[in-house]
Structure 1
Amino acid sequence: FNGTDLSGWAGAVENYEVRDGAIVCKEGHGGNLFTEEEYDDFVVRVEFKLPPGGNNGLAIRYPGTGRASYDGMTELQVLDDTATKYAKLDPRQYHGSVYGMVAAHRGYLRPVGEWNYQEVTVQGHTIKVELNGSVIVDADVSKVTEFKDDLPHPGKDLTRGHFGFAGHNEPVMFRNVAIKKLVASEE
């Protein structure tokens, strides 16, 4: 993300805007905003700020159509865990979780309205999520056999796709988005 406009991004571009150097999901809008480029193994670093009740997601290996959480490898939840309306979610729906598949360790989000730093490493079928310096997920999704509401995740074994944001109507902000492709080591 170049910090000034949405060039290089596709999908629900009209539902997002750039404000103060950050990508913001417009209030009352949503949808998947994703990179034009596709990635195999990669590391993405991003800062995000949640409004009260904020909900968005990081689309991982998104195919460009369908739902990031099911049709892509996954959606990593970006969520205000403290909001009353989210008090009774499945543990696999809270911030940082591999949506519907793997619950993240909780308690590492900064207060609503403060910037958080998150680094996600996607290598093969393994997803590692580090939030504000603490690892909250390190899981091989190919080994997941139990899903929220018994809904299958047909995209979980994808090995390539887009990175993006899965907006859900709240103005969650993202800045300093940097993606680095990982190259398989020669043995």
Structure 2
Amino acid sequence: MKKILSVLILFAAVLLSHGAPEKFVSLFDGKSSNGWKGALGNYDFSDGMIRCQKGRGGTIYTEQQFTNFVVRFEFKLPPGGNNGLAIRYPGQGNPAYAGMCELQVLDNTAPKYAKLDPRQYHGSAYGMVAAERGHLKPVGEWNAQTVTVVGSSIKVELNGAVILDCDLAAVTQFMQNKAHLGKERTFGHFGFAGHNDPVAFRNIYLKEL
């Protein structure tokens, strides 16, 4: 019995050591939509993942709002997968325009996306600033991403490489000349903007700055 107890204690210690990074908090309990709002019925919250249901979409977002923060997470794309990160989202409207921005989560290799505007590829501040391509892992593998939002600046690191580092306050040209009225927002929710594809997210941690 003592040996079994020792093994259980060791196992618990290992689990704790793989929890939230220092000073980060988990945004997802791994099994439920607790702490989230929005189009919850269009997503699955289970098995340690938040996954948009195939053929469904909409935006889900944290109950809490944030100003400056760092968010770390992992994501996995299906072939042709499309989703997005809602940054400083007000809780209604299109995150790309009503929020500070939507950061693309996209399978850049899909033939159907071959002729997109550069500001529509993965990691880009949608319609405003293009991210550097070439750092996504093959479709079906987990990618690691970190997003830092401070003031009007956003930095995106994908699998260890900085693919976006920009100041949205300096942006004056927009895709299709469509203004992003929310880009000056100083606080809001963090969320995921689904576009009918089963893109999955896990290990979602945030630290306020």
Asked if Structure 1 and Structure 2 have the same fold, meaning a TM-score greater than 0.5 normalized by the shorter chain, the answer is yes
User: Identity, % of aligned pairs?
Assistant: 65
Looking at secondary structure, tell me which structure has more helix per residue.
Answer: 2
Q: Does 1:28 align with 2:63?
A: no
Distance 1:18 1:113 in 2: 19
TM-score by length of 1: 0.97
Q: How does 1:1-187 map to 2 (within 5 A)?
A: 1-182=28-209
Greater C-alpha radius of gyration: 2
Amino acid of the structure 2 residue aligned with 1:39: F
Please tell me the root mean square deviation across aligned C-alpha atoms, in Å: 0.5
Distance 1:158 1:2 in 2: 28
TM-score by length of 2: 0.86
Query: Could you report, residue by residue, the CA deviation over 1:132-153 in whole angstroms, capped at 9, with x for unpaired residues?
Result: 0000000000000000000000
Distance 1:30 1:22 in 2: 16
SS of the counterpart of 2:207?
Answer: strand
Figure out how many residues of one structure are paired with residues of the other and give that number. 182
Amino acid of the structure 2 residue aligned with 1:156: K
Amino acid of the structure 2 residue aligned with 1:165: F
